[in-house]
């Protein structure tokens, strides 16, 4: 990631923190006093920094395997220092113009030894009311509808975990513009998955946007670890995003393919069988049918955009490639 020069750093204030689970939260960033954030396009990102983050160091083990562990001082205490990372913006441009803030949806990353991620760990330790977050006064990135979906009549957005953030920005902005008479002649379908219902950030807002019918938007939400209440929720599906997409195309589950491939290679398939036994069978919300979604993802007119878990994105690409659908993903 290329960072802007030091002169472009500003000090913002994180407010309105909302905890969704022990590892997921949203917060809003207010700009430095007397400043406004630069204009941006939905799907873009900005570099954020905190100055007192727990630092890590790289360890190379026997066999060349690399991993990161806490970097400790002579007293055995964690070393602290600045860490910078770019985050997709979940707020829509019209919200920033009206209210001034940017909004972010972040996950608490952890290393193998359980050490919290350097910057994400610092976010989860912020003062609930207000705390400083530095930002580069530049918003950039080309994971936008203009760059990745121009010319397509149908756009399928697949967001896993916090990867839904750029799509939330896109959909909210499209809805805002449609509500004012500027309706895009494009179908938008969002597959939004997370582990639990509580972790489905922006779920209610997206349902409301779909119900308004201001634009041609279909919202397909699902959880991969459904609880009893989820099984009774007609607006909620089940299963991981990649398997939900496979379900739309009547394809086998990813875990079924992995098992068959292992058997064909003559491998021990114990782990593959365990993975298949654990997987949640995909199911769509009651208000959408597989037939309707198949029409919306007609390969002759559709592009698939995805952001989130790398393994899921890889399989989503496989599904898109299998059906000759153009594919785009957000890379970091």
The CATH architecture of the domain made up of 145-329 is: 3-Layer(aba) Sandwich (3.40)
Place of tokens 């530049």: 138
- Give the pLDDT confidence of 36-70 residue by residue, as tens digits: 999 999 999 999 999 989 888 888 887 788 877 77
Q: Are strands 327-329 and 302-307 parallel, antiparallel or unpaired?
A: parallel
**How long a stretch of residues is the chain?**
332
Q: Tell me the pTM.
A: 0.92
Angle at 86 between CA 101 and CA 332, to 5 degrees: 140
Structure-token match 């049918």, residue found: 289
- Token output for 162: 């916090």
* Bridge partners for 2 per DSSP: none
Instruction: Decide whether 6-140 matches 145-329 in CATH topology.
Output: no
Q: What is the pLDDT of residue 27?
A: 96
Q: How much is the pLDDT for 332?
A: 61
Pick the CATH number of 6-140 from 3.40.1350.10, 3.40.640.10, 3.90.25.10, 2.40.30.10: 2.40.30.10
Q: Delimit the domains of the chain by residue range.
A: 6-140, 145-329
Longest dimension (CA), the chain: 66
- Map residue 160 onto helix, strand or coil: strand
| Phi, psi angles (nearest 5°) of residue 321 | -65, -40
Cβ(207)–Cβ(219) below 8 Å? yes
DSSP letters of 23-70? Answer: TEEEEEEEPPTT--PPP--TT-EEEEEEEEEEPEEEEE-TTS-EEEEE
Q: Tens digit of pLDDT for each residue in 166-208?
A: 999 999 999 999 999 999 899 999 999 999 999 999 999 999 9
CA-nearest of 204, 167, 197, 190 to 244 is: 190
Tokens 């068959």 map to which residue? 260
Q: Which residues of the chain have pLDDT under 50?
A: 1-7
Q: CA 159 to CA 173: how far, in whole Å?
A: 17
- Based on its alpha-carbon atoms, the radius of gyration of the chain, rounded to whole angstroms, reads 21
């Amino acid at each position: 990631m290329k960072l802007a020069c030091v002169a472009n750093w500003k000090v913002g204030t994180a407010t309105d923190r909302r905890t969704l689970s022990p590892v997921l939260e949203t917060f809003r960033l207010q700009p430095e006093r007397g400043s406004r954030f630069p204009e941006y396009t939905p799907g873009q990102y900005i570099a954020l920094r905190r100055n007192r983050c727990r630092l890590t160091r790289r360890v190379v083990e026997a066999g060349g395997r690399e991993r990161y562990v806490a970097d400790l001082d002579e007293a055995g205490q964690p070393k602290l220092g600045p860490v910078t990372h770019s985050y997709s913006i979940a707020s829509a441009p019209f919200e920033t113009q009206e209210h001034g803030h940017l909004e972010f949806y972040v996950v608490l990353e952890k290393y193998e030894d359980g050490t919290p991620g350097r910057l994400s760990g610092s976010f989860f330790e912020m003062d609930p009311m207000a705390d400083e977050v530095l930002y580069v006064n530049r918003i950039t990135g080309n994971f936008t509808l203009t760059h990745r979906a121009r010319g397509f009549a149908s756009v399928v957005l697949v967001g896993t975990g916090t990867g839904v953030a750029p799509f939330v920005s896109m959909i909210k902005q499209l809805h805002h513009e449609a509500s004012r008479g500027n309706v895009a002649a494009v179908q938008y379908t969002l597959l939004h998955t997370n582990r639990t219902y509580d972790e489905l950030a922006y779920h209610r807002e997206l349902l409301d946007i779909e119900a308004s019918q201001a634009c041609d938007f279909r919202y397909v939400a699902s959880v991969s670890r459904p609880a009893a209440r989820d099984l009774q929720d007609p607006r909620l599906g089940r299963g991981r995003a990649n398997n939900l997409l496979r379900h739309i195309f009547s394809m086998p589950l990813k875990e079924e393919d992995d098992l068959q491939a292992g058997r064909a290679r003559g491998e021990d398939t114990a782990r593959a069988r365990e993975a298949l036994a654990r997987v949640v069978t995909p199911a769509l919300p009651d208000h959408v049918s597989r037939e309707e979604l198949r029409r919306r993802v007609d390969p002759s007119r559709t592009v698939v955009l995805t952001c989130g878990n790398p393994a899921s994105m890889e399989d989503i690409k496989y599904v898109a490639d299998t059906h000759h659908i153009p594919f785009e993903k957000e890379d970091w």
